[in-house]
Amino acid sequence: MTFRDAVREGIRDAMRKDVRVFLMGEDVGHYGGCFAVSKGLLAEFGPERIRDTPLMESAFVGAGIGAALGGMKPIVEIMTCNFSLLALDQIMNTAATLLHMSGGQFNVPLVIRMATGGGKQLAAQHSHSLEGWYAHIPGIKVLTPATLEDGYGMLTSALNDPDPVLIFENQTLYNMEGEALVSPGAVDIAKARVRREGKDVCVLTHGASLHKSLEAAAVLEKEGIGAEVVDLRVLRPLDDATIMASVAKTHRVLIVDEGWRSGGISAEISARIMEQAFYELDKPVARVCSAEVPMPYAKHLETAALPQVESIVAAIKQLVLGHG
Amino acid sequence: MAEFVMPNLGADMEAGTLVKWHIKSGDAVRRGDVIAEVDTEKGIIDIECFETGVIDQIKIEPGAKIPVGTVMAVIRGAEEAPAPAKPVAAPEPAAPTKAPHVHASPLAKKIAAELGVDLTKLTGSGPGGLIDREDVEHAAAPKKAPTPVEAVRVKVSPLARRLAAERGINLASISPGPSGIIEQADIERAAAPSKPEPAPAAKSGDGMRRAIAAAMAKSNREIPHYYLQTRIDMSAALKWLEAENAKRSIKDRLLPAVLLLKAVAKALGDVPALNGFWIDNEHRVSPAIHLGFAISMKGGGLVAPAIHNVGEMSCDEIMAALRDLIPRARAGRLRSSEMTDSTLTVTSLGDLGVESVFGVIYPPQVALVGFGKIIEQPWAKDGMLGVHPIMTASLAADHRATDGHTGAQFLDVLNQHFQTPEAL
């Protein structure tokens, strides 16, 4: 089973259990989804519940908000987070704020799924990682599944949530193979998870960077460095408890995030560690993020701009040994 | 600039605690001067300086426990004096005689001229504001050392600071690791000996035992020992010793140990292969003969400090060396060169009544010579049976460096030297 299959099964499960759930977005129906996530679903559920939308993000996200307000449980698929910028006003100023502005009268139980990340030579406008940016907004939840179980189960949990939930799926993960799952059901969407235990350094990360971090940890284990790798899973709200426990255990922290470091989620986590676990730190918090440039098109430049196993290994060595 | 580092004083030493400095920044030192006292597991050792020059910078404060190899002070060569008071001899357009009258003693004026000190800039501390010699010398002293020992803010990680506070460790006594910032590892290292004043007597019981254990375990682990022994007729030697001592006052009398050391030194001159070290998979014969003499300590434990150049010393000189060394060793006041320079160790357990000694070589040496008690025994000589004073000499040697043949040669030659004591 691939990550893609897991997400599809998640949608399928949710749609079978609850008639109010429907999927809408560009090319989700006849084309089967830009990333083939919804392949076969049109045949199973019909055009009323698998709806191809016009190429107009602001409109169909707005329609999704309306459907949610009207009692439905829409899953809005924005092809990639890059295009979500066209619907930012809907997301930030309507979906996220209606509950507050209505004095608690109107929940917006909307789920928006977006592909995120770079690495496929889609260049500057189509390679953003904006999940950290969206985590800035009060009123929504931001999820970053990186495992099959989370790809499958987070959707159900999100649909059960009365407020808007944004799910960011890193596009390089769709082909990732894993053990076949059978209806894991709803998974927790409030906690981070320690994916690998270690005592020398803790690596806080999410999405595709999780797997690069795990690979780096395997490399470092051979050199006697034990890296603890924490999958953040939820960027808003951040699981402070799990983060600080790991910091207190290891005293050295590396944050790996595909977003840019300036004002990114890595900066937020670093600030929280300063506030809550300052006296546990033996070294300043380190970060590996994308280079502060629009994402290059040329393959070698794009590779150099993104976090990689080598740069994670080097950063950890610098932290633990004092040299790269 | 030369660096004065925490030396490795043997016995797998990893760290030492600086007890006190004998010098301060600005002092002149010569090679061989004792400049610091360092507490190791084996007691307090006086550390000698290897450079001649001026102490430029002191980097470690007393009380700090630092790893072997850490830079403790910086010594600059005598010529490197960065004294600003040696300015370019400014040939003032105005002749010196035109300068305003300076109230200075004649000697002060002379010294000022030599050192290039501008007297007009000085305030005199003598009567009536007289500038005297001390004022001039003080002004000439290089205040502006390249990096004076001023208070530099030491950076400490939050965790290290918290740990130090919890454990009652004074951060001023901690020296940082390679990062230059005091971190958890530096606190952990310092937390081990938490006694503020290490008493050598208290240490020698436990720390010394551990140090000996480490060295002996290493020796047995790494050195393939072979053992040889021979019995030596000491009649000639003892008779000679008695005659020599009759010529001396009581306090100058020679102990048999002197003969043992002299004979071993001579034998090593004949069979030099046993005199040296096994280092980095290589046998390095030492040109000089420094014999380590095993001395047992009152509280238990053992040190084997070196007596340098035994071969060139007379019996009286060796006796004087022993008389100086043994009490100092028992008081834990040995010098660093004595701890590290032995090329071979001699151990004599004759006083305790053992016949022969099969010792453990002290790495990186390649041999150990043991002497047992001199016992009256039946002995055949020239076809006649008699009772002679017999001493068993044993050799433990490193088979990587030498073979039994060499060891046997050594013992044979040693025996012969004891038969001609007057030639020693």
Q: What values do phi and psi take at A171, rounded to 5?
A: -65, -20
User: pLDDT of A146-170, one tens digit each?
Assistant: 999 999 999 999 999 999 999 999 9
CB contact under 8 A, B157 and A278: no
Q: What values do phi and psi take at B309, rounded to 5?
A: 55, 50
DSSP string, A57-114: HHHHHHHHHHHHHTT-EEEEEEEEHHHHGGGHHIIIIIITTHHHHTTT------EEEE
Q: What is the mean pLDDT of residues B120-132?
A: 80
Instruction: Name residue A199's amino acid.
Output: K
Chain A CB contacts of B164 below 8 Å: none
3-state secondary structure of A86: helix
Q: How far apart are the first and last CA of chain B?
A: 45
Q: Which of A189, A171, A231, A180 is nearest to A9 (CA)?
A: A180
- Most confident region among A301-310, B42-51, B398-407 by mean pLDDT: A301-310
Q: Give me the torsion for CA of B128, B134, B136, B138, rounded to 10°.
A: -120
At residue A31 the predicted structure's pLDDT band, cuts being 50, 70 and 90, is: very high
pLDDT at B220: 83
Q: Find out whether B132 and B104 touch, Cβ atoms under 8 Å.
A: yes
CB contact under 8 A, B159 and A280: yes
| Predicted confidence (pLDDT) at residue B387 exceeds the cutoff of 90 | yes
Q: Is A126 a catalytic residue?
A: yes
| Predicted confidence (pLDDT) at residue B160 exceeds the cutoff of 60 | yes
Q: What H or E segment, with its residue span, contains residue A168? A: strand A165-170
CB contact under 8 A, A281 and B179: no
| Predicted confidence (pLDDT) at residue B114 exceeds the cutoff of 90 | no
Taking the whole predicted model, whether its pTM rises above 0.90 is answered as no
pLDDT at A169: 98
Q: Give me the torsion for CA of A84, A90, A96, A101, rounded to 10°.
A: 170
Share of chain B above pLDDT 70, in %: 88
Gyration radius from chain A CA atoms: 20
At residue A226 the predicted structure's pLDDT band, cuts being 50, 70 and 90, is: very high
At residue A20 the predicted structure's pLDDT band, cuts being 50, 70 and 90, is: very high
Q: Is A57 a catalytic residue?
A: yes
Window 220-279 of A: residues touching B by CB (8 A cutoff) are 251, 278-279
Q: What values do phi and psi take at B30, rounded to 5?
A: -120, 155
| Predicted confidence (pLDDT) at residue B76 exceeds the cutoff of 60 | yes
User: pLDDT of A104-132, one tens digit each?
Assistant: 999 999 999 999 999 999 999 999 999 99
Q: What's the count of helices (H) and strands (E) in chain B, helices before strands? A: 10, 20
In the DSSP assignment, the letter for residue B145 is -
In the DSSP assignment, the letter for residue A295 is P
Q: What values do phi and psi take at A278, rounded to 5?
A: -50, -45
Q: Which of B127, B85, B121, B87 is nearest to B105 (CA)?
A: B127
For residues B313 and A140, which has the higher predicted lDDT (pLDDT)?
A: A140
Q: Find out whether A105 and A112 touch, Cβ atoms under 8 Å.
A: no
Q: What is the mean pLDDT of residues B204-209?
A: 64
pLDDT at B51: 83
Euclidean distance between CA atoms A225 and B52, whole angstroms? 44
pLDDT at B202: 44
pLDDT at B96: 46
User: pLDDT of B329-340, one tens digit each?
Assistant: 887 778 877 887
Strand A201-205 and strand A253-260: pairing? parallel
Q: Distance (Å) from the C-alpha of residue A321 to the closest C-alpha of chain B?
A: 10
- On average, the pLDDT of chain A sits at 97
Q: What values do phi and psi take at B398, rounded to 5?
A: -85, 115
Instruction: Give the nearest chain B residue to A251 (CA atoms).
Output: B159
CB contact under 8 A, A251 and B184: yes
